[in-house]
Chain A
Amino acid sequence: MSVSTSRDGRGGDCGCPRAASQEGDGAGGAERRQNAMSVRLRVWRQRDPQDKGGFEEYDAPRLTPDMSFLEMLDVVNEDLQREGQEPIAFDSDCREGICGMCCLVIDGVPHGPGRGTTTCQIYMRSFVDGATITVEPWRARAFPVLRDLIVDRSAFDRIIGAGGYNSVNTGSAPDANATLISQARAEEAFDAAACIGCGACVATCKNASAMLFVSAKMKHLNMLPQGKPERRERTVAMLKAMDDEGFGHCTNEYECEIVCPKEISVEHIAFLNREFLRSQVITTGLRPAVTEE
């Protein structure tokens, strides 16, 4: 099953009545919010990893535009359980866009409509009343489906295990101000470090490539002085782990950046490619193994 994605498929900046509410007072806004809406869901159901799975349809009545998408699913699940049916299994935890656990493909787009948001930060006001919404799990060979909308993303953990850290045992750190880092460099490292490891980049990529994820962690560490000693080893080890886990390669479609809830830039992938080339030059002996680092 393939996931097709296009910018057109994103309804983030839809014509929801945002401008009107800013003019209105609190009471007017509340009145608008109580206007019920309903949607029809087409949801991927799959009992376990072996099951073939398929879509099932559910009505979600009595909604309000201020409900989050996951709260809407909570309501649907409550109804299913009262009817003695099994609720839809889906992952979520913090519900404030930072833990990276929620992972739904909504109408073909990982994390649904809206730029720079996770699934849990999507609100029903982004959909039109009466819409039919298709909900699927992440799709990638490296992310097998465990049940319904839940997938196994432990491949990401193993990539981090291969090199996504500075090897510094507790207790052996110098004073925190001993190394000066310019504000600009710290900010740039932060932009990369903001990745929440949700895997939307993989889910949207036609190659199921994890390059955005890997490059973000690599850049965060490789560009800071603390990360320099392991720069080469980290680059080689993380890329090898990525290949071993069955993720594809990058063919510069940039869909990953569009769906990334933290708006991680594809420029990091260019950084990764440079780091990889550099590591190859050094390991093949074209340059001395010990460099300025």
Chain B
Amino acid sequence: MALDGHTPGGPLAEKWDRHRFDLKLVNPANKRKHTLIVVGTGLAGASAAATLAELGYHVKSFCIQDSPRRAHSIAAQGGINAAKNYQNDGDSVYRLFYDTIKGGDYRAREANVYRLAQESVNIIDQCVAQGVPFAREYGGTLSNRSFGGAQVSRTFYARGQTGQQLLLGAYGALMRQVHAGKVELYPRHEMLDLVVVDGHARGIVTRDLTTGKMESHVADAVLLCTGGYGNAFFLSTNAKGCNVTASWRAHRRGAYFANPCYTQIHPTCIPVAGGFQAKLTLMSESLRNDGRVWVPANKGDGRTPEQIPDGERDYYLERRYPSFGNLVPRDVASRAAKQACDEGRGVGATSRAVYLDFADAIRQDGEATIRQKYGNLFQMYEEITDEDPYRTPMRIYPAVHYTMGGLWVDYNLMSNLPGLFVLGEANFSDHGANRLGASALMQGLSDGYFVIPYTLGGYVAGTPLPEINTSHPAFVDAEKQAQGRLDALLAVDGSRTVDDFHRELGLLLWDHCGMARNASGLTQAGERVREIRDEFWQNVTVSGSTGELNQALERAGRVADFMEFAETMIQDALSRDESCGGHFREEHQTEEGEARRDDENFAHVAAWEFAGVGQESVLHKETLEFQNVALTQRSYK
């Protein structure tokens, strides 16, 4: 079945304006009568909850952390893009749009991306008014840097903590509305199910993580702002608590999951050090502005980096991509690192790392300049690895970082289930098959501050929403199922821990659905996922009870959902028989080892409908139409 993205008509630059005019408005006096549920308090969730409450809606905001300020947007380092063209260097809304479409390897919806570029300028204004301390020039104007393969300087940043400062701005706005009584805040609450009544999303079932109490919440619309699924891989740069449960539970209730095979593997992370490791740490991409990536030219070169003369080093990014060099997009840089290591030229104890070397930059600009630019990152690197990057090159390796796929949404950010909206990383919409650096913060805030306030109003104003309460059979049933699932997890009483299963699943996905995939590997992995899942339900051990603070139980529920989700991810990767962006099918590459797209057969969004655990999901395609940009092979040479 073909899916309709409900993209408005008219020229690209006028679509959003026209659409905003066409959307119905909610009478201001009626807004407070509408309760809206916002799950997640990252950039998308906090900005949406605050803005909707400012407009007068009654908002309930949920998060699994102890405070909304902890959501993982807080960890974003590099910056946020905006087409302000403050640097007068040729940027424009159209250029940001074009770069984002191209960077996504032509697998995103044109109209959404254009709107994102348009709203980007408003985000910066809003955040500065909130007091976000962006970097400034001596004259007092805002400073920009070039980032993530862009050839203009459009990235606004706050040291290496841009995500933190943007989130604290949105969190402040949210807490202001909580204080004013417009938002009811539910920290340490986890959404365990979506409640659908007569085909409309009308509420959620949650578990109070402190007491274990199961609760139902009714609303006129539900907004999922619950982030990505990167932790399916166990090791990632995500926070420990990041999970797919809210999205997956909505998927099981009918929401389509789009492009789950698109995962961004970030090229500059600290390599895995041992089997006990709980997470991977990102080293900001901005380091590639001054660091040079290299491996020894010869296989199995056991010398220390200092002992290897320049002539015996291979600066492979500079060699392969002379015009972009070390600044090629993330997917390209990651793949090149993997290839170098596969060739036996990796470095460090595990041989799964490449050097990121600042020696030339230090020689050129002085250690003080480098310290000023990257001091906090260098310090973090030294704390983790016990090595001093001012003296010896950093060792880096790609790691799972961001997921471009997510629940399918139309132009209004509404899923195929009426009343269920999905914002930020949790939706699939704007980054295609590869996200550019400094674009995630932009999308989260664009969705929350500037898109949803309009499109949600259009839905609420134009949809009859009969009054219901939590005694409705759909709520009673959903609550019973959620409780039953927790009881089932506790009842297994096996001998392997949740983390043990999670590690095995993660490693399997990393090996077969990571930086490179092929049909036979994916097929095997699919079978293996089913086996691991079966064993999980027969042999997992979860201690404690449901009626208390029980972290083992929380993790068990999330990992159980990752096990179901992983199969859909693999199915999508298998069915997308082309290479594009972060999805690299080894069967489809150019002679030089670059990704080869198949626009004739795969210029579509693959949206999967749940058909039961272990059942093949049903594919729905949304054809991507490119009326403004010509599809070309991405070239960074």
Q: Which residues of A contact B (CB under 8 A)?
A: 16, 18, 21-22, 25-27, 29-30, 33, 47-48, 64-68, 70-71, 74-75, 78, 81-82, 84-87, 89, 91-101, 114, 117, 121, 123, 125, 146-147, 150, 152-154, 156-158, 160-162, 164-177, 179-183, 186-187, 189-190, 193-194, 196-197, 220-221, 224, 226-227
Contact = CB atoms under 8 A, between A and B. Distances in A.
B109 interface: no
Interface string B125-161: 1111111011111111110000000000000001101
Interface in B468-507: 495, 497, 499-500
A101 B188 CA distance: 12
Contacts of A74: 276, 278, 499
A66 B155 CA distance: 35
20 contacts: A21-B387, A25-B304, A26-B304, A33-B273, A68-B278, A71-B276, A93-B72, A117-B383, A125-B386, A152-B210, A157-B187, A161-B178, A166-B130, A168-B129, A169-B51, A170-B50, A173-B125, A177-B141, A182-B138, A193-B133
Contacts of B176: 161, 165, 167
A123 B541 contact: no
A116 to B, nearest CB: 8
Tell which of B169, B276, B380 has the most Cβ of chain A within 10 Å.
Answer: B276
B84 A176 contact: yes
A119 B122 CA distance: 37
Tell which of A22, A82, A146, A171 has the most Cβ of chain B within 10 Å.
Answer: A171
B549 A150 contact: yes
Contacts of B172: 160, 164-166
Nearest to A226: B131
A93 B449 CA distance: 26
Given A176-B128, A193-B168, A153 B67 contact: yes
Contact of A75 (B47, B165, B241, B276): B276
Contacts of B380: 96-97, 121
A226 B303 CA distance: 55
Given A48-B548, A81-B543, A170 B453 contact: yes
B69 interface: yes
Tell which of B84, B185, B388, B549 has the most Cβ of chain A within 10 Å.
Answer: B549
A95 B279 contact: yes
B92 interface: no
B519 interface: no
Contact of A180 (B140, B273, B392): B140
Contact of B70 (A27, A47, A93, A158): A93
Contact of B173 (A33, A165, A174): A165
Contacts of B548: 47-48, 147
B54 interface: yes
A26 B541 CA distance: 39
A27 B278 CA distance: 23
A196 B130 contact: no
Contacts of A91: 66
Interface residues of B toward A: which range? 35 or more
Nearest to A126: B383
B85 to A, nearest CB: 11
Contacts of B387: 21-22, 29
Contacts of B385: 66
Given A82-B495, A164-B172, 7 more contacts: A74-B499, A91-B66, A98-B164, A100-B67, A170-B449, A174-B125, A181-B140
Contact of B141 (A85, A158, A169, A180): A180
A146 B210 contact: yes
A170 B136 contact: no
Contact of B133 (A48, A197, A220): A220
B65 interface: yes
Contact of A21 (B50, B71, B279, B386): B386
Nearest to A30: B349
A84 B66 CA distance: 27
Contacts of B363: none
Given A66-B274, A66-B386, A186 B134 contact: yes
Contacts of B386: 16, 18, 21, 29, 65-66, 123, 125
Contact of A81 (B164, B273, B384, B552): B552
A85 B543 CA distance: 7
Nearest to A122: B383
B426 interface: no
A169 B54 contact: yes
Interface of B: 47, 50-51, 54, 65-72, 74-75, 84, 86, 122, 124-131, 133-142, 158-159, 161, 164-165, 168-169, 171-173, 175-176, 178-179, 185, 187, 210, 239-241, 273-274, 276-279, 281-282, 302-304, 347-349, 380, 383-388, 391-392, 395, 449-450, 453, 495, 497, 499-500, 541, 543-544, 548-549, 551-552
Contacts of A176: 84, 124-125, 127-128, 134, 142
Nearest to A148: B549
Given A93-B240, A194-B161, A186 B135 contact: yes
B543 A177 contact: no
A19 to B, nearest CB: 10
A64 B303 CA distance: 25
A73 B122 CA distance: 44
Contacts of A166: 129-131, 172
Contact of A99 (B70, B304, B391): B70
A200 B349 CA distance: 36
A161 B383 CA distance: 35
Contacts of B165: 190, 193
Nearest to B303: A25
A187 B122 CA distance: 23
Contacts of B128: 173, 176, 179, 226
Contacts of B66: 91, 101, 150, 152-154
Given A26-B349, A181-B136, A220 B131 contact: yes
A26 B127 CA distance: 44
Given A190-B159, A193-B165, A160 B133 contact: no
Contacts of B67: 100, 153-154, 156-157, 197
Tell which of B142, B179, B395 has the most Cβ of chain A within 10 Å.
Answer: B179
B383 to A, nearest CB: 6
Contacts of A30: 348-349
Nearest to A62: B276
Tell which of A48, A117, A181 has the most Cβ of chain B within 10 Å.
Answer: A181
Nearest to A66: B273
A84 B541 contact: yes
A95 B70 CA distance: 11
A93 B124 CA distance: 28
Contact of B164 (A156, A169, A196): A196
Contacts of B158: 190
Contact of B129 (A16, A47, A68, A174): A174
A56 to B, nearest CB: 15
B211 to A, nearest CB: 9
Nearest to B72: A94
Contacts of A68: 278
B139 to A, nearest CB: 7
